[in-house]
Structure 1
Amino acid sequence: MAREASWFKSSYSSDNGIGSCVSVAALGDRVGIRDSKQQNGPTFVAPTAAWSSFIREVKSGRWAT
């Protein structure tokens, strides 16, 4: 299912030569997350609610160093 999904990179990702970004795909009630440099590599799949919670935490700045 994850291989056939429509993957996208964040608009915050840049083509700076480092390639340090992830691709994300909606998989119904789950979200696929993968390294954008390894499109055929492993995929982490998480419940949509968990992914949404993670994104909220990141945006809050609480974990910024």
Structure 2
Amino acid sequence: MEKETVRIEGFSDAVFAIAITLLVLDLHMPEENSVKNSNDLLIFLKNQWPAFLAFFLSFFSIFIMWVKPS
């Protein structure tokens, strides 16, 4: 009976890991020529704050479900 549980746990770990990895696809890098100094990078990151906030909230939501004991 324990062998079946181990396989299901491994599968669910893989699903959670893939879900967390897919969250990164919505984050975008700035165009190569648009950032010339650190101030331009800071402005770009400030404009992207909703995407980063959504990433962190989603990441921690999935992480909590993954780590939460049954």
TM-score, shorter chain, exceeding 0.5: no
More strand by share: 1
TM-score scaled by length of structure 2: 0.27
The answer to which structure, 1 or 2, has the higher relative contact order (CA under 8 A, 6+ apart) is: 2
More helix by share: 2
TM-score scaled by length of structure 1: 0.28
Higher CA-based Rg: 2
